[in-house]
Amino acid sequence: MLDQLTYASEAALNGLMAGVMYSLVALGFVLIYKSSGVFNYAQGVMALFAALTLVGIQKGQVPFAHLINAVTGGHLETFGWQVPAVLAILLTIVVMIGMAIVIETLVLKHLVNQAPIILFMATIGLAYFLEGFGDVMWGADIKTLDVGLPQGINETIESVTDTWFGYGFFIDNLDIVAAIVSVALVTALTLFSQYSKQGRALRAVADDHQAALSVGISLRFIWVLVWSIAGFVALVAGIMWGSKSGVQFSLSMIALKALPVLMLGGFTSIPGAIVGGLIIGMGEKLFEFFVGPLIGGATENWFAYVLALFFLVFRPQGLFGERIIERV
């Protein structure tokens, strides 16, 4: 019995670490939803595109090399130099800001005061465009991402838990870094949203585009700002997931894991994205540990969605979401 509780504790701790990774993706969804009231279907693809761009810059890869070689018959691959990780991250941030400006100029400014479903459909088109554009720009092969983050089992935790429980917990250093980064991001974004002038303007835009415009808030600036921040969050998520499992096009599917997180935490709550991720991560690991063997396993594939469905029935706004009351 004691051994089972020890193993369950390790599963719960690993679940919390996995939940933090889910939350990193969910944060980007929350930011876009708070500024426009629209679910950004492209957030997962933004994480993929940011990771692809970071790897391409870091390795000195020639953009559109495959296309150029197909047209010219050449053999371009790289520029012949490597870019330090910190500089590559800064350049990728510049690319994501530029992408935000392009999205606002070519897409969002033409959809002011449109129905949310129109904006949602626009993000679906944007997702498929970015995925294809990333493929053409950087290639479709699986890439390794190394920005110097510590990886491997944390020996300190393994040693301490072995002393306390007689069994060492296997916790990845990368998951610990992701947890620290997530806490820092949530703290910074919450302070920004609640206490900065731009954060208050962001909430005003989410409530009513026309009313925000009437009091002098620049809708275009707010959208560029929030998509730039969402792009930065996508880059952080892309770094963590890419370092863990490689940069590949299935990375865009992590958005599906963020959906239950948002349903639990609330689409408008930044802290809720973290809490929802922790609940989902720990819940699916413990459910797999205790119930999985009884029903054939593979419960991690569907547990999060069943839990999210339960919340939709009994608390549709999520744990931290705002209850919206419309009077007719």
Note the pTM of the prediction, 2 decimals.
0.87
* Per-residue pLDDT in tens (0 to 9) along the chain, 328 residues: 556 777 788 788 888 888 888 888 888 888 888 777 778 888 889 999 999 999 999 988 888 888 888 888 777 777 778 899 999 999 999 999 999 999 989 988 888 777 778 888 999 999 999 999 998 898 888 888 888 888 888 888 878 877 776 777 788 888 888 888 888 888 888 888 778 888 788 777 776 667 777 777 787 888 888 889 889 989 998 898 888 888 887 777 777 778 888 888 888 888 888 888 889 989 988 888 888 888 877 788 888 889 888 888 888 888 876 665 555 5
Separation CA 277–CA 40 (nearest Å) = 18
User: Is position 162 within any domain?
Assistant: yes
Q: What are phi and psi of 78, to 5 degrees?
A: -135, 170
Q: Are 230 and 250 in contact (CB under 8 A)?
A: no
**pLDDT, tens digit (0-9, with 9 covering 90-100), for 235-252:** 998 898 888 888 887 777
What percent of the chain is helix, strand and coil (3-state, nearest 5)? 75, 0, 25
Return d(Cα 23, Cα 182) in angstroms, integer: 8
φ/ψ of residue 143, rounded to 5: -120, 145
Domain for residue 328, yes or no? no
In a domain, 12, yes or no: yes
C-alpha span between 194 and 41 (Å, rounded): 25
Q: What is the structure's pLDDT at 15? A: 86
- Give a yes or no: residue 319 inside a domain: no
Q: Print the domain residue range for 166.
A: 2-314
Q: What is the pLDDT of residues 261-320, one digit of tens each?
A: 888 888 888 888 888 888 998 998 888 888 888 887 778 888 888 988 888 888 888 887
In a domain, 323, yes or no: no
- Amino acid identity at 83: V
In a domain? residue 104: yes
Number of domains, the chain: 1
* Domain assignment present for 309: yes
User: Is residue 325 assigned to a domain?
Assistant: no
